[in-house]
């Protein structure tokens, strides 16, 4: 329903115009002066205001200026007996949408009203479409956010599963991957890497030995010394892990880091004898975390060597086998922060 307000100090004009409009099916209110019209508009805005200009206390132009401060969409038609170009120009510059000369002729009046009703309806339609667009965009954004969350959770559950699978295969090193992942994340944090980075390093650590499922379990759990063939088979796990993961939808560098976790800076590692910057920073961190954790814990073929021996090893080969910044961060972690190995399974946050 279109709501129209007629403001005029002449009773006969108010009544005549309102009668025309009511017959056309509009909802019409009348005000005997601009001050009353202003109050009525403030209480409940109208779609169209038809106002006289010259009225006592407050003019139609002042009323229009007031309306424009609270409502830019309202259609305002100005009526006057002084039909001058100047008056019309003043009315339009103050924001009028139409101008009517007195005496008001019914047909011309209704024609003006109808064309302004069309404008009101077009504005309403536009506003409706804008609201729908905002709602649609909001819905789309929340759907994307939900999908991302589901994808992250599903990635995290895959990491947990793969971590468990490796440990079922090699129970003697139970907790090794979690300890390496947590240590690698703490080293990254100490190196001031971003939260996304160290969360990813932690997740990679949790499954870095996934390739061990291709190695016969008798070799993995063999208590004594292993021979060259057995060692070659064990070495395969780095490349196998990378091959397995490269087809899984995981963040960039994930599979590559797993494949590089036994490389060494001087090219003495395996499987590709990579050197220095050929090795990803994620892998440099994992390499140090893996060596330190392995030396600090019990293995089927030897007792735990302890933290001092582990730190001695990485200090001795700082710059040759191990990345110097990673070594410094790792030593700082144990010496200054009194870090102790942690095999708890942290919640996995994988950046997309
Ligand atoms: Fe390994």
Q: Write the pLDDT tens digit of every residue in 258-281.
A: 999 999 999 999 999 999 999 999
The Cα 123–Cα 119 span in angstroms is 6
Q: The pTM is what?
A: 0.65
Distance (angstroms) between ligand 1 centre and the Cα of 290 equals 7
| CA distance linking residue 70 with residue 148, whole number of Å | 42
Neighbour count for residue 340 (Cβ, 10 Å): 10
| CATH numeric code, 3-129 | 3.40.50.2300
Q: How confident is the model at residue 298 (pLDDT cuts 50, 70, 90)?
A: confident
Strands 27-31 and 3-7: parallel
Alpha carbon of 73 to ligand 1 centroid (Å): 70
Whether the pLDDT of residue 171 is over 80: the answer is: no
CB atoms within 10 A of CB 120: 18
**CB-proximal residues (5 Å) to ion ligand 1:** 209
The Å distance, Cα 337 to ligand 1 centre, comes to: 26
Question: CA–CA separation, 218 vs 171, rounded Å?
Answer: 12
Report pLDDT digits (tens) over 236-250.
999 999 999 998 888
d(C-alpha 239, C-alpha 209), whole Å:
10
Q: List the beta bridge partners of residue 299.
A: 302
CB contact set of 151 (below 8 Å; sequence gap of 6+): 352
pLDDT at 324: 98
167 vs 173: CA distance, rounded Å: 7
Question: How many whole angstroms from 244 Cα to the centroid of ligand 1?
Answer: 14
Within 10 angstroms of residue 104's Cβ, the number of other Cβ atoms is 16
Ligand 1 center to 296 CA (angstroms): 15
Greatest pairwise CA separation for the chain in angstroms: 114
- Cα of 184 vs centre of ligand 1, distance in Å, is 14
Beta sheet of 27-31, edge-to-edge order: 27-31, 3-7, 48-52, 75-80, 98-101
Q: Which residues contact 154 (CB under 8 A, 6 or more apart)?
A: none
More confident residue, 165 or 319: 319
CA of 191 to the centre of ligand 1 (A): 23
Residue 109 has pLDDT above 80, yes or no: yes
Distance CA 109, CA 51 (A): 13
Instruction: Report the candidate in 87, 67, 90 with the shortest Cα–Cα distance to residue 50.
Output: 67
pLDDT tens column, 3-34: 999 999 999 999 999 999 999 999 999 999 99
Tell me if 101 sits within 8 A of 53, measured CB to CB: no
Query: Which CATH superfamily groups domain 147-335?
Result: Hypothetical protein af1432 (1.10.3210.10)
Task: Compute, in angstroms, the gap from residue 291 CA to the centroid of ligand 1.
Answer: 9
- Alpha-carbon distance of 207 to 271, in angstroms, equals 18
Vertex 270, ends 265 and 276: CA angle to 5°? 20
pLDDT given at position 346: 83
Q: Confidence band (pLDDT; 50, 70, 90) for 83?
A: low
- Domains of the chain by residue range: 3-129, 147-335
**In the chain, what percentage of residues exceed pLDDT 90?**
70
């Amino acid at each position: 329903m279109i709501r129209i307000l007629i403001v005029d100090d002449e009773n006969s004009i108010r009544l005549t115009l309102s009668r025309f409009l009511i017959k056309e099916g509009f909802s019409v209110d009348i005000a005997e002066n601009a001050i009353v019209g202003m109050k009525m508009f403030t209480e409940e805005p109208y779609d169209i205001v038809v106002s006289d200009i010259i009225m006592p206390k407050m003019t139609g132009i002042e009323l229009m200026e007031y309306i424009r401060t609270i409502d830019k969409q309202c259609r305002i038609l100005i009526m006057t007996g002084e039909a001058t170009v100047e008056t019309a120009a003043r009315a339009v510059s103050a924001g009028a949408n139409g101008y009517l000369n007195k005496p008001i002729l019914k047909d011309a009046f209704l024609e003006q009203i109808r064309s302004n009703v069309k404008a009101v309806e077009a504005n309403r339609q536009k506003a409706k479409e804008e609201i729908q667009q905002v709602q649609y965009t909001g819905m789309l954004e929340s759907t994307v956010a939900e999908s991302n969350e589901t994808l992250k959770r599903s990635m995290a559950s895959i990491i947990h599963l793969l971590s468990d699978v490796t440990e079922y295969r090699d129970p003697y090193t139970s907790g090794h991957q979690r300890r390496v992942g947590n240590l690698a994340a703490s080293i990254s944090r100490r190196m001031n890497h971003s939260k996304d980075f160290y969360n990813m390093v932690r997740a990679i650590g949790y499954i870095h030995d996934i390739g061990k499922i291709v190695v016969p379990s008798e070799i993995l759990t063999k208590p004594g010394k292993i021979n060259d063939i057995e060692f070659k088979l064990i070495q395969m796990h780095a490349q196998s892990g990378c091959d397995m993961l490269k087809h899984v939808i995981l963040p960039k560098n994930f599979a590559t880091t797993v494949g590089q976790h036994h490389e060494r800076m001087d090219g003495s590692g395996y499987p590709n004898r990579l050197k220095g910057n050929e090795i990803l920073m994620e892998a440099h961190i994992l390499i140090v975390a893996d060596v330190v954790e392995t030396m600090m814990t019990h293995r089927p073929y030897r007792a735990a060597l302890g933290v001092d021996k582990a730190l001695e090893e990485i200090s001795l080969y700082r710059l040759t086998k191990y990345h110097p910044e990673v070594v410094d961060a790792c030593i700082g972690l144990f010496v200054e922060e009194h870090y102790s190995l942690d095999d708890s399974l942290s919640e996995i946050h994988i950046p997309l």
